[in-house]
Structure 1
Amino acid sequence: MHSAFAVFLLLLVAANSSGLPVAVIGATGKLGRHAVQKLVQQGCSVRCLVRCAPSSAAKPSNAQNATSAEVAAWLTTLPGVELVEGDVTDRQCVMELLRGCSACLALHGARRTTKLSDLLPWVDATREPAHAKQVNYEGVRHVIEAARASGTCKRIVRVTGKGETPWSIFSILINGLGSMAKAWNYEGERLLRACDDIDYTIVRPGYMGQVDAQLEGASLVLADNGGDLKVSGIPHSSVAQLCVRCLDFPNAARSTLCAMTAPKGQGADSFDPLLAEVAADTRRFAGGELFKRHVLAVRVGGLVMSGFAVGFVGGSVSVLRAALAMLTR
């Protein structure tokens, strides 16, 4: 059975080895650098979008605390890697990036934090280049347009997150503090699902942080059709493996995959056997009304948290006054 599966994988690789480069957006991030490395190990040519070209003064480094310039310098030392200077919010840069590529790994994400000025009615923060709308939504639109213009890019792999639970405390906090990042990520997913000429694979991983040591020996689990799995930590390297390997699985096209970890023995050691079983999306995903629920959840959650904050401050002042009164008697 194992030999049959190995033959199956070889056939998939042979069928999908176009020789064209794979584009990677977010290549200097913790997830992106792992993906580039895995693509190189598979013998792929890689074209990376980086915000600034590495200077000669930048010391090549792939360490966890390395700067973007240092990681970019490290990328240039890998065989078959080419850098394109630009940003996903720049349509022309993305056009240049995807020209002649076979696929694109869109591993970018907005990092802008919400500002108090965003609450002013005359301020439209969504126009800022770093805003989640520009990065997680318009950026995906640019990737789709560039893929169509290229004539060669037939697969887009997009990493997002669980974004269908607007009333969860985590969604409220991330949306409230991160310029509606989850809500705009889901809107970007909707753009991909609306494509009928480009295949997508949407990857929704658990939380990726300093979890490698905690998850040593853990198994991998995968749910297609946007299935809901218990949220867990998952290493950047494992998510990168999934993004790269799904390119060689035609059955993973037009699918939404939730990727998590489980205790040892309750899942698989690699994503390959799990990917062999996934299928394209069949369920009806929520439409634009979900964005409105995200916005409402943030507004209600903000009022509730403000109420708690006012109550806490008021209680603290009362206690302080009582303590001062006792001291002055």
Structure 2
Amino acid sequence: SDAPEATSAEVAAWLAAQPRVQLLRGDVTDRTRVLELLQGCSACLAMHGATRRTQLSDLLPWADETQEPSHAKRVNCEAVVHLIDAARASGTCRRIVRVTGKNEDPWGFFAILINGLASMAKAWNYEGERLLRACEDIDYTIVRPGVMLRGDERLDGATLVLVDNGGDLKTSSIPHRSVAELCVRCLDFPNTARSTLCAMTVKGEDGPDSFEPLLAKVLPDSRPFPGHEMFDQHMLAVRVGGPLLVGLASGLAVGTLSLLRGLLVGR
């Protein structure tokens, strides 16, 4: 099924039944498997992402959680190395379309929250972007979408907005279907090669409900993007901002409990 409420297994079964679709099981952290999977491909849509949650054991000085296969370093960064190597080895794959996120604001609330709870996922996503930009023989299109929520896939009165050159837009929700359309349709626009696109929606304005007219205006990246210092900023932001967020959450929890206790006693 391609319904919004369909499970991953149901979506996979629906895709496998479509004409000219070959469904193969793979693992982006397995270099050998990725080499096999990209044979004969003209492009690679890399929409995977790390799901590992930060563990208390990660704080132990002798622990190296980055060795776990599900860690963001392995999934969001090292896997990109495998994709680049596989694209080169295939001799046919000329572009990698990679879905990441807004990774250039390490001190933002959500960046600190996601990095702190999800094994530095945003920091490693940006490192993966850097690998693609440094690759001169394989083109890339990096897609930074808004909040992709499961459920209603309609635009519901909103219109699509797109900015190139790694520009920024106000964060908003965007249907999975729209992001999927962007990743596929950009392959038909040669001008989107070597571009970093931020995709959002905006309500109350006239605009397109398809990315095609927006893709036609995209220009390749031309500005200098931050280097490894961005990763250092992500790490510093978590070290400084993480305890502050924990303290704020604890204070709110204590305040809420005190309020409830006062209401109960007053009865």
TM exceeding 0.5: yes
Gaps of 5+ in 1: 1-60
Mapped to 1, the partners of 2:168 and 2:44 lie a distance apart of 25
SS of residue matched to 1:261: strand
Change (3 A) 1:210 1:320: closer
Counterpart check, 1:99 vs 2:66: no
Q: 1:263 Cα deviation (Å)? A: 2.4
Counterpart check, 1:137 vs 2:73: no
Mapped to 2, the partners of 1:239 and 1:221 lie a distance apart of 12
Q: Is the 8 A contact 1:159 1:203 kept in 2?
A: yes
Q: Is the 8 A contact 2:153 2:175 kept in 1?
A: no
| Alignment deviations for residues 83-128 of structure 1 (CA, whole Å, 9 cap, x no partner) | 2222111111111111111000001111111111111111111111
Change (3 A) 1:250 1:117: same
Mapped to 1, the partners of 2:214 and 2:259 lie a distance apart of 57
Query: What root-mean-square deviation, in Å, do the aligned CA atoms of Structure 1 and Structure 2 show?
Result: 2.4
Q: 1:249 Cα deviation (Å)? A: 0.6
Q: Is the 8 A contact 1:211 1:234 kept in 2?
A: no
Change (3 A) 1:231 1:310: closer
Greater shift after overlay, 124-133 or 258-267?
A: 258-267
Question: 1:165 is matched with which residue: 100, 105, 109?
Answer: 105
Counterpart check, 1:123 vs 2:49: no
Residue 95 of structure 2 aligns with an amino acid whose one-letter code is R
User: Residue 151 of structure 1 corresponds to which residue in structure 2?
Assistant: 91
- Aligned residue pairs, count: 266
Counterpart check, 1:221 vs 2:221: no
Mapped to 2, the partners of 1:132 and 1:297 lie a distance apart of 17
Counterpart check, 1:246 vs 2:190: no
| Alignment deviations for residues 135-173 of structure 1 (CA, whole Å, 9 cap, x no partner) | 110111110000000011001100101000000001011
| Alignment deviations for residues 183-209 of structure 1 (CA, whole Å, 9 cap, x no partner) | 111000000000100110001111110
Summarize the alignment of residues 1-329 of structure 1 with structure 2, pairs less than 5 Å apart: 61-210=1-150, 212=152, 215-309=155-249, 311=251
Q: Is the 8 A contact 2:4 2:153 kept in 1?
A: no
Change (3 A) 1:320 1:162: closer
Change (3 A) 1:303 1:125: same
SS of residue matched to 2:162: strand
Residue 111 of structure 1 aligns with an amino acid whose one-letter code is T
Q: 1:269 Cα deviation (Å)? A: 2.4
| Alignment deviations for residues 256-294 of structure 1 (CA, whole Å, 9 cap, x no partner) | 011111225443221111111111000000000111110
| Alignment deviations for residues 37-93 of structure 1 (CA, whole Å, 9 cap, x no partner) | xxxxxxxxxxxxxxxxxxxxxxxx344444433332222211111122221111111
SS of residue matched to 1:78: coil
SS of residue matched to 2:22: strand
Q: Is the 8 A contact 1:206 1:232 kept in 2?
A: yes
Mapped to 2, the partners of 1:319 and 1:212 lie a distance apart of 37
Gaps of 5+ in 2: none
**Whose relative contact order is higher, 1 or 2, with alpha carbons under 8 Å and at least 6 apart?**
2
Greater shift after overlay, 144-153 or 300-309?
A: 300-309
Residue 209 of structure 2 aligns with an amino acid whose one-letter code is D
Change (3 A) 1:278 1:323: closer
Report sequence identity in percent: 68
Residue 223 of structure 1 aligns with an amino acid whose one-letter code is V
Residue 276 of structure 1 aligns with an amino acid whose one-letter code is A
Q: Is the 8 A contact 1:160 1:202 kept in 2?
A: yes
Mapped to 2, the partners of 1:77 and 1:240 lie a distance apart of 19
Q: Give the TM-score taking structure 1 as reference length.
A: 0.75
Q: Give the TM-score taking structure 2 as reference length.
A: 0.91
Mapped to 2, the partners of 1:67 and 1:322 lie a distance apart of 44
Q: Is the 8 A contact 1:159 1:205 kept in 2?
A: yes
